[in-house]
């Protein structure tokens, strides 16, 4: 069985990953929605624009 330390490290890593994923998805959703409503937010970094195939 895994030790308590490995479970704690895994839980912390999962929480951090989940927070970054949530932040990324909320920012992308607001970027797309607010752009359509005519109140755009600043453009995302270039690497995100490449992922989104945004021109």
pLDDT given at position 7: 97
pLDDT given at position 55: 58
pLDDT given at position 54: 62
pLDDT given at position 47: 80
Q: String of b and e for 41-50 (b: at least 16 CB within 10 Å)?
A: eeebeeeeee
Token readout for 47 is: 């690497």
Which regions in the chain score pLDDT beneath 50? none
Q: Is 0.85 surpassed by the pTM of this model?
A: no
φ/ψ region of 53 (left if φ > 0, alpha if ψ in -120 to 50, else beta) reads left
DSSP symbol at 4: H
Task: Please state the domain count of the chain.
Answer: 1
């Amino acid at each position: 069985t895994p030790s308590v330390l490995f479970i704690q490290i895994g839980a912390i890593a999962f929480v951090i990953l989940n927070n970054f994923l949530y932040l990324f998805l909320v920012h992308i959703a607001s970027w797309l929605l607010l752009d359509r409503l005519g109140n755009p937010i600043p453009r995302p970094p270039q690497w995100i624009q490449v992922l989104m195939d945004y021109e």
